[in-house]
Amino acid sequence: MSLPPGPRYLLQLAFPCLPPSIAVYVILNVFVTRGASIPCWFIALSALLSRPAFLLVCHFLSEMSNWVDARRKGALMVPRVYDRWPGGLSIVAAMVKNFKTGGPGDVFLQWREQYGNTYSLKIIGENRIFTFEPEHIKAILATQFDDFEKGPIFHSQFTTLLGTGVFNSDGDMWKFHRTITRPFFSKERISHFDVFDRHAEDALEQAHSRLTAGYPIDFQDLVSRFTLDSATEFLFGNDVRSLSAGLPYPPSPPSYPPSPASNDEHPSTRFVNAFIAGQTLSSLRSRYGPSWALVEFWYDRVRPHRAVVDEFTEPILEEALRNNHARRALGEQEKEDEEANSGTLLDHLVCQTQDRQVLKDELTNLLVAARDTTASLLTFAMYMLTQHPAIVTRLRAEILCTVGTARPTYEHIKEMKYMRAFINETLRLHPPVPFDSRTSNKATTWPVTRTNPGPSARPFYIPAHTKCTYGVFLMHRRTDLWGPDALTFDPDRFLDARVHTYLTPNPFIFLPFNAGPRICLGQQFAYNEASFLLTRLLQRFAHFSLAPPTSDDGVRPGVHLTMYVKGGLWVRMEPAPLEMDVNTEAEGLGVE
Q: Which long-range contacts (C-beta less than 8 Å, at least 24 apart) are formed by 345-349?
A: 345/181, 345/184, 345/234, 345/235, 345/236, 346/235, 346/236, 346/237, 346/316, 346/317, 346/320, 347/237, 347/320, 347/323, 348/180, 348/181, 348/183, 348/184, 349/180, 349/181, 349/320
Determine the Cα–Cα distance for residues 324 and 348; give it in Å rounded to an integer: 10
Determine the Cα–Cα distance for residues 217 and 200; give it in Å rounded to an integer: 15
Alpha helical stretches, state H, 166-218: 171-181, 187-190, 194-212
**Are 195 and 230 in contact, with CB atoms under 8 Å apart?**
yes
Determine the Cα–Cα distance for residues 278 and 300; give it in Å rounded to an integer: 11
Phi/psi at 171 (nearest 5 deg)? Answer: 60, -135
> Can you give the length of the chain in residues?
592
**Are 165 and 501 in contact, with CB atoms under 8 Å apart?**
no
Phi-psi region of 344 (alpha: psi -120 to 50; beta: other; left: phi over 0): beta
Cβ-based burial of 213 (10 A; exposed 0-12, middle 13-18, buried ≥19)? exposed
Helix (H) or strand (E) holding 54: helix 40-72
Cβ-based burial of 164 (10 A; exposed 0-12, middle 13-18, buried ≥19)? buried
Helix (H) or strand (E) holding 439: strand 435-440
Beta carbons within 8 Å of 585's beta carbon, 6+ residues apart = 400, 576, 577
Q: Residue 401, annotated ligand binder? A: no
The three-point CA angle 406-495-542 to 5° equals: 40
CB atoms within 10 A of CB 560: 18
First to last CA, the chain: 71
Beta carbons within 8 Å of 378's beta carbon, 6+ residues apart = 219, 223, 226, 227, 530, 533, 534
The Cα-based distances of 481 to 91, 368, 502 in angstroms read 28, 30, 6
Beta carbons within 8 Å of 395's beta carbon, 6+ residues apart = 385, 418, 419, 422, 534, 538
Known binding residues for heme: 520
Known binding residues: 520
